[in-house]
Structure 1
Amino acid sequence: MIVGLDAGTTVIKAVAFDDDGVPVARAAERARLDRAGPGRYEQDADEVFAAASAVLERLPGPFEAIGVTGQGDGVWLSDGSGRPVRPAVSWLDARAGDILARWESDGILEALFRRTGSLLFPGAAAPVLAALAEQEPHVLEAAATAGYCKDMVVQRLTGLRATDPSDASVPFLDPRTGDYADDLLDLCGLREYRRLLAPIRRPPMAPRSDGTLVVAAPYDLPASAWGGGVTEVGDGLLILGTTLACQVLTDAVETTGEPCGLTLATWEDGRWLRAMPAMVGAAALDWVLALVGAGVADLPGLLAASPAGASGVSALPFFAEAGERAPFVEPAARARLDGLHVGAGKADVVRAVAEGIAYAARHCLSAAGLTGELVVCGGGAASRPWLQIFADVLGRPLRALPGEEVGARGAALAAGRAVGRPALPAPAGVVVEPGPDSGRYADGYERYLRAVSHARDWWREPKA
């Protein structure tokens, strides 16, 4: 069997697939995310690796190969053996917000975007490294690698110190040459730390102690696109997870227009993923459900109890402490509810946030250049009423994939390619068509865009 291991932010799962690509065994462990202070989010790399090892051990072997994917961005500092020299800084972290603001005012962010097609955000590796260089230079001196989650797991399993083109994409990869560019390190003032960048391999792979081949697959965003069957230019993937991840396959590196989003290298020459990994997502909906004394099981009833348009209540759903990173970067972005009145109920508040998240997805996918089929996956895709809102807001059919194994499937496909397995067909999924509320949501989307534009001016004003 081929195994896909997905080291996510809050759940680490392993899935074994048979020769036909059918999942035949699964194991999962929760992962702990620590809030180390205001806007500071970290993880214990030893705990993450222990959980990854545990889920692999719980699957029946033998395995032909193991593909490893996982959360991207952030900084996982390790020594020469892959063991942590400090807790990993998560992609959710906001400690580099002030550095990012300086880089924006100095024109560094735009210069980086014009070279790479990627706009940095507080949890990206470059600003996190710059923050650590200012605040904890001793840990950078003690480290051998400033890497990523999946690469840490692979190194601990096999001893291989390497990364793949997708994780290397942001922020130091020249997308045209496929290698690190020293001028990008210079722009960030980080040339002295180039030694911390792991070599790029296509693909990175090595055997573990029992001889099983371990492959560092693309990280979770491109792995999910691969696992979801996004193969044609213009096709897109929407992951309804803790955050939204919106991606569109493209054959060009776009560096014009307003800087936004990420450009991620794939394993195919001349193909990139234009990614808009928004911070808004199911976590925002979970927070609002808890606020009104409800849970996920109550969501279908609450959505049914409020009409399209949420009785005039609307939301900007930017609840993340680190603000927003796609399709714009605003570290000070904050959520807002408008149109509240005594006739509004908790169902209207919940529906307004659910609609606001769908508007954010349309904003991201429009910026990414979606023209073809849209695949939807992730935990949020299990809610058919919420999927209907997405189909109505987007005004297009969705191919919804069951379960939360798309990233693990992409990792398994990467491992299968490494051992010469033939490509497998994409899972069929269920098609959700837009309904009669699409016209109303088209008007609502225009109002949403105007509200975001106004809010961005407000977020940037100095606060007393």
Structure 2
Amino acid sequence: MPSLLGIDNGLTVTKAVLFDVDGTQLSVARRRVEQLMPRPRFVERDMAGLWRATAEAIREAIAASGRDAGDIKGVAATAHGDGLYLLDHDQQPLGPGILSLDSRTGSIMERWTREGVVEKALALTGQPPHVSAQSALLAWIRKHEPERFGRIGHILSCKDWLRFCLAGTVGTDRTEASIAFTDVQTQNYSQEALDLFGLGELWHALPPVSHSAGIIGGVTAEAARLTGLKEGTPVAAGLHDVTASSLGIGGHRPGTLAVVAGTYSINEVVSAEPRIDPRWSCRNAIEPGQWHDMAISPASAANYDWFLDTLCAREQAASLADGSSIHAVLGEEITAALARPSTLIFHPFLFGSPFGDKASASFVGLRGWHKRGDMLKAVLEGIAFNHRTHVDALRDGFSFDEVRLTGGASRNPAFAQMFADVLDLPVTVTQTDEAAAFGAALCAGTGVGLYASVQHDPRDLLATATVYQPDKFRARELDRRFSLYNRIATSLQALWPDIESLAETSHA
């Protein structure tokens, strides 16, 4: 029976997931990948270590599936977008990979804003640069690490590094090619874009572009030895994980809003023409002549994870020990908190925000009688509010009549219902556990001819989906709270730089 392998690498975990050709998940294996933080605002990882962890996960997933590796007809990877993975001219890693949580380029972004580079980039490339964009990171390396800059041979994204490790070929796909250096109108690389960022001499380092389902090579002998895959197994180009998640839940098509509540708040629609606005990025969709419009910020479920790690460590340890779910353990606290009114509002800006990199998280309205459940409810509500900030922006530019929600937190019915109430829209949660990995598998299956196109999903997603209808009373109440949430954030904007400066005070 044919099967497909989808690889999904996030910011902390790399996963290998095997699917039957009908879309049934056969097995999944995970490995944590260490984040390196050598200095404040630096978030990196060892590239060789990432590949070793991924290879181990692939070998385990094959063993757990009970299928022969020869049944795997195609492989594709997806991974976190933005950030930077460099190879030198000998195709060797050139320093650590840089994750999309990195924010070392703040001063560059401030200068680009003053000098009009951000405004020009929006008009040319369809998106403003940001602190973890390849354009900003390369400009930082040019300024601070000129020797490293001079040795750049290939500019890759994370999934392109994994594809190189699998098949030994350098390249990218349309979705990843458009993260910094393409003309939004032509959807092709632009020398003008490179020149705008002061990176004109790097044209040679831009990777060749393939369709996400294009077969770009086969598993090498070395990769086969490390992973247990059969040498020569076809490898597809793969795609950006934002796009892969949308594709994996049936949301990568016009008229549908796909929402991913993961480390990042991701909110995305597909359009038949480019529409440019500073509130979203207009990038290439999978197919030529379509654009993927994404309003995002690093301000979603990572805040929930932080809360669990910081304030629920004992319960987390107990859950790990007895195999129970930490979400179920805390369910009663959340349910009780949802049933009572609260003055507590949380801004989920622990790792970033739509308000710029100076913004920080905060609880406002905290009282002595509030319990942990009230704080957790506020965190979940703040996450949903941050998504609404982006969704409201997209509503100004696009029409959509369906919302599909994915991400680990979407498995919590109370959280999914909160999204429906906050957005005041029906929200569909499909039974897709590994949406991004399946999006990659769809590309691999299309590449080897098992599917007519990436849109020919073999699953009947709606047959097993849950649709959450908004409660009109709760929607009105949450709308009032969202208005206050925004007014508080606006008031704090002038103070966030001063708050940030407290960390720079010398004690000498």
Q: TM-score, normalised by structure 1?
A: 0.93
Equivalent in the alignment of 1:431: 467
% identical aligned pairs: 29
2:410 is aligned with 1:365: no
Equivalent in the alignment of 2:228: none
1:199/1:309 CA distance change after superposition, 3 Å: farther
* CA distance in structure 2 between the partners assigned to 1:24 and 1:52 by the alignment: 18
Equivalent in the alignment of 1:443: 480
Once the two structures are overlaid, the 10-residue window that deviates more, 84-93 or 396-405, is: 396-405
For 2:9, give the aligned amino acid.
A
SS for the counterpart of 2:480 is helix
* CA distance in structure 2 between the partners assigned to 1:255 and 1:309 by the alignment: 42
Equivalent in the alignment of 2:265: 244
Equivalent in the alignment of 1:288: 307
Preserved CA contact (<8 Å) 1:260 1:329: no
Any gaps of 5 or more consecutive residues in structure 2?
221-230, 317-325, 503-508
2:410 is aligned with 1:381: yes
> Alpha-carbon deviations, 1:214-269, whole Å to 9, x = none?
0121110001111111143131111121222211122221224xx12222212223
2:491 is aligned with 1:454: yes
Equivalent in the alignment of 2:322: none
2:336 is aligned with 1:315: no
Equivalent in the alignment of 1:302: 333
* CA distance in structure 2 between the partners assigned to 1:185 and 1:123 by the alignment: 16
1:53/1:289 CA distance change after superposition, 3 Å: closer
Once the two structures are overlaid, the 10-residue window that deviates more, 187-196 or 289-298, is: 289-298
Once the two structures are overlaid, the 10-residue window that deviates more, 375-384 or 55-64, is: 55-64
Preserved CA contact (<8 Å) 2:252 2:269: no
Structure number with greater Rg is 2
1:454/1:117 CA distance change after superposition, 3 Å: farther
* CA distance in structure 2 between the partners assigned to 1:13 and 1:182 by the alignment: 36
SS for the counterpart of 2:279 is coil
For 1:286, give the aligned amino acid.
D
Any gaps of 5 or more consecutive residues in structure 1?
none
Give how far 1:123 is off.
0.8
Once the two structures are overlaid, the 10-residue window that deviates more, 104-113 or 193-202, is: 193-202
SS for the counterpart of 2:259 is strand
Equivalent in the alignment of 1:405: 434
For 1:262, give the aligned amino acid.
S
Note the 1:114-193 alignment, pairs <5 A. Answer: 114-193=123-202
Give how far 1:278 is off.
1.5
Note the 1:208-223 alignment, pairs <5 A. Answer: 208-209=219-220, 210-223=231-244
For 2:331, give the aligned amino acid.
P
Preserved CA contact (<8 Å) 1:168 1:200: yes
Equivalent in the alignment of 1:206: 217
Equivalent in the alignment of 1:392: 421
Equivalent in the alignment of 2:74: 65
For 2:469, give the aligned amino acid.
E
Q: Greater helix share, 1 or 2?
A: 2
1:310/1:129 CA distance change after superposition, 3 Å: farther
SS for the counterpart of 2:235 is strand
SS for the counterpart of 2:470 is coil
SS for the counterpart of 1:412 is helix
1:19 paired residue among 18, 21, 34: 21
Preserved CA contact (<8 Å) 1:82 1:156: no
2:97 paired residue among 88, 91, 99: 88
Give how far 1:372 is off.
2.1
* CA distance in structure 1 between the partners assigned to 2:383 and 2:423 by the alignment: 11
> Alpha-carbon deviations, 1:381-425, whole Å to 9, x = none?
121222221121111121113354100110011111111222224
Once the two structures are overlaid, the 10-residue window that deviates more, 87-96 or 187-196, is: 187-196
For 1:206, give the aligned amino acid.
G
Give how far 1:329 is off.
5.3
Q: TM-score, normalised by structure 2?
A: 0.85
For 1:207, give the aligned amino acid.
G
Preserved CA contact (<8 Å) 1:34 1:42: yes
1:453/1:371 CA distance change after superposition, 3 Å: farther
Note the 1:335-354 alignment, pairs <5 A. Answer: 335-354=361-380
Equivalent in the alignment of 2:251: 230
Give how far 1:446 is off.
1.9
> Alpha-carbon deviations, 1:348-383, whole Å to 9, x = none?
222112111101111111212362211111111121
* CA distance in structure 1 between the partners assigned to 2:501 and 2:93 by the alignment: 38
Once the two structures are overlaid, the 10-residue window that deviates more, 292-301 or 383-392, is: 292-301
* CA distance in structure 2 between the partners assigned to 1:372 and 1:30 by the alignment: 37
For 2:201, give the aligned amino acid.
E
For 2:390, give the aligned amino acid.
C
Once the two structures are overlaid, the 10-residue window that deviates more, 396-405 or 97-106, is: 396-405
> Alpha-carbon deviations, 1:283-338, whole Å to 9, x = none?
21222344444654343222212136851111111011xx32xxx35011111221
Preserved CA contact (<8 Å) 1:215 1:418: yes
Equivalent in the alignment of 2:276: 255
Preserved CA contact (<8 Å) 1:82 1:152: no
Equivalent in the alignment of 2:358: 332
* CA distance in structure 2 between the partners assigned to 1:313 and 1:158 by the alignment: 51
SS for the counterpart of 1:358 is helix
- Root-mean-square deviation (CA), in Å? 2.0
* CA distance in structure 1 between the partners assigned to 2:384 and 2:173 by the alignment: 32
Equivalent in the alignment of 1:45: 47
* CA distance in structure 2 between the partners assigned to 1:425 and 1:104 by the alignment: 46
SS for the counterpart of 2:330 is helix
1:79 paired residue among 88, 95, 98: 88
* CA distance in structure 2 between the partners assigned to 1:354 and 1:192 by the alignment: 45
* CA distance in structure 1 between the partners assigned to 2:23 and 2:311 by the alignment: 42
Once the two structures are overlaid, the 10-residue window that deviates more, 292-301 or 89-98, is: 292-301
1:364/1:57 CA distance change after superposition, 3 Å: same
2:447 is aligned with 1:414: no
* CA distance in structure 1 between the partners assigned to 2:336 and 2:79 by the alignment: 37
Give how far 1:87 is off.
0.6
* CA distance in structure 2 between the partners assigned to 1:386 and 1:290 by the alignment: 19
